């Protein structure tokens, strides 16, 4: 069986560029590092380093092994943390996966609610957009964005609860020619430089691109990044425009104005998948109830009240949603 510590040492040597530098970084003797590398070579049957002049150079096999070990070591690190928690009598956790704006706007209330039930609880929050990460706990709650059209996603071992359907806003720099309009037709942004905040093609980006296709254009990007708040800053600087769901739009921001997007209206459904787990049933139910309350509050705070774009056939447009499911 491979020794995880030796894989960590291999990655440390490759990152440092030499055995001696890795030894200094890890507070080991160089001879100890060399012994671990030799043992790893025997365990794997691979040539990991070759002599080059007075030093050594990593082989392609060593680099590939180190790359493939990254996810394994993340999982092993998580397991070590679980063991440490159990040893210290603090093994109770609630794991939540969600997108960034939900983490910012809704998670403070969720953490407070579940810790009200169990004060020693640790809530672990990780982002599930743009991609699922390794080294994370299996989520007890998974808050996701999905299109309002098409089949509803259901996860094995989880109960699905619809939270809300929310519209999108055009985010424009102050002084933009459309800034004084009460609403913005998506097609009117076709000739504008866009700021893309979703370079990893997560569901929210797919919804926006589908809406643009319905409007007859593909956005021309002036900048691309994976941070919606930074995207707003770029809009304020006059670099371009963007389209964000209401929950992701920060409070009053100097330099930008926001307007509802129409023709087509653009919307997303937000759902939470709650894991079926008898041990955590009360905590999960409390968290779901808090999320439902937060979603209702977000609806009420939207200009003009709850926002459920009604245009049939448009990208993201739906009839008013069915009653929310109860936990």
Per the CB < 8 A criterion, the answer to whether 185 and 262 are in contact is yes
Where among 22, 54, 87 does a domain terminate?
87
Position 85 scores a pLDDT of 59
Domain of 27, CATH number, reads: 1.10.10.10
Say yes or no to pLDDT of 323 above 50: no
Q: What is the DSSP string of 7-23?
A: HHHHHHHHHHSSHHHHH
Where among 87, 108, 140 does a domain terminate?
87
Residues in the chain: 327
Position 282 scores a pLDDT of 94
Domain shared by 67 and 78, yes or no: yes
pLDDT tier at 254 (50, 70, 90 boundaries)? confident
Residue 93 to residue 121: CA distance in whole angstroms: 6
The structure tokens listed for 200 are 């990893």
Count of domains forming the chain: 3
Domain shared by 110 and 259, yes or no: no
Domain-located, residue 151: yes
Domain shared by 33 and 83, yes or no: yes
* β partners of residue 168: 245
Domain-located, residue 320: no
Residue 57 to residue 134: CA distance in whole angstroms: 29
Position 201 scores a pLDDT of 82
Give 111-158 pLDDT, tens digit per residue.
Answer: 999 999 999 899 999 988 755 555 567 899 999 999 998 788 899 999
Position 303 scores a pLDDT of 55
Per the CB < 8 A criterion, the answer to whether 215 and 152 are in contact is no
Average pLDDT, the chain: 85
Residue 188 to residue 186: CA distance in whole angstroms: 5
Q: Determine the Cα angle at 77 with ends 133 and 131, to 5°.
A: 0
Give 190-245 pLDDT, tens digit per residue.
Answer: 999 999 999 888 889 999 999 999 999 999 999 999 899 999 999 999 999 999 99
Domain shared by 180 and 263, yes or no: yes
Domain-located, residue 319: no
Per the CB < 8 A criterion, the answer to whether 29 and 88 are in contact is no
Domain shared by 131 and 277, yes or no: yes
Count of C-beta atoms within a 10 Å radius of residue 163: 25
Domain shared by 203 and 73, yes or no: no
Q: Look at the block and give the residue holding tokens 């055009």.
A: 170
The structure tokens listed for 147 are 């299109």
Torsion of CA 61, 64, 67, 68, to 10 degrees: -100
Higher-confidence residue of 90 and 189: namely 189
Position 326 scores a pLDDT of 32
Count of C-beta atoms within a 10 Å radius of residue 43: 13
End-to-end CA distance of the chain, in Å? 44
pLDDT tier at 284 (50, 70, 90 boundaries)? very high
Give 1-42 pLDDT, tens digit per residue.
Answer: 788 888 899 999 999 888 889 899 888 998 999 999 999 999
Interstrand relation of 267-275 and 55-58 (parallel, antiparallel or unpaired): unpaired
Q: Give the structural domain span for 149.
A: 93-163+269-301
Where among 44, 70, 87 does a domain terminate?
87
Domain of 260, CATH number, reads: 3.40.190.10
Position 81 scores a pLDDT of 66
Say yes or no to pLDDT of 316 above 60: no
Domain-located, residue 316: no
Backbone angles phi, psi at 244, to 5 degrees: -125, 150
Q: What is the pTM of this model?
A: 0.67
């Amino acid at each position: 069986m491979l020794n995880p510590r030796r894989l960590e040492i291999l990655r440390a040597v490759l990152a440092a560029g030499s055995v001696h530098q890795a030894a200094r970084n890890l507070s080991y003797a160089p001879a100890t590092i060399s012994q671990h590398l030799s043992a790893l070579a025997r365990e794997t049957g691979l040539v990991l380093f070759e002599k080059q002049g007075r030093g050594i150079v990593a082989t392609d096999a060593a680099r590939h092994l180190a790359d493939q070990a990254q996810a394994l070591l993340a999982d092993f690190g998580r397991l070590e943390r679980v063991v440490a928690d159990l040893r210290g009598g603090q093994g109770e956790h609630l794991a939540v996966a969600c997108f960034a704006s939900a983490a910012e706007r809704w998670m403070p209330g969720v953490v407070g609610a579940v810790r009200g039930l169990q004060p020693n609880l640790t809530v672990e929050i990780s982002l599930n957009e743009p991609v699922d990460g390794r080294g994370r706990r299996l989520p007890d709650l998974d808050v996701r964005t999905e299109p309002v059209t098409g089949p509803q996603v259901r996860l094995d071992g989880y109960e699905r609860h619809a939270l809300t359907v929310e519209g999108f806003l055009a985010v424009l720099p102050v002084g933009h020619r459309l800034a004084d309009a009460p609403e913005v037709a998506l097609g009117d942004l076709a000739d504008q430089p866009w700021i893309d905040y979703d370079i990893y093609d997560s569901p929210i980006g797919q919804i926006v691109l589908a809406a643009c296709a319905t409007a007859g254009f593909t956005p021309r990007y002036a900048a691309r990044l994976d941070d919606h708040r930074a995207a707003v800053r770029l809009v304020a600087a006059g670099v371009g425009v963007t389209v964000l769901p209401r929950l992701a739009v920060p409070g009053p921001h100097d330099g930008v104005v926001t307007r509802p997007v129409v023709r087509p209206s653009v919307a997303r459904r937000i759902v939470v998948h709650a894991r079926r787990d008898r041990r955590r049933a009360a905590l999960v139910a409390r968290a779901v109830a808090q999320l439902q309350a937060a979603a209702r509050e977000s609806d009420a705070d939207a200009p003009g009240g709850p926002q459920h774009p009604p245009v049939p056939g448009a990208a993201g447009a739906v009839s008013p949603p069915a009653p929310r499911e109860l936990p």
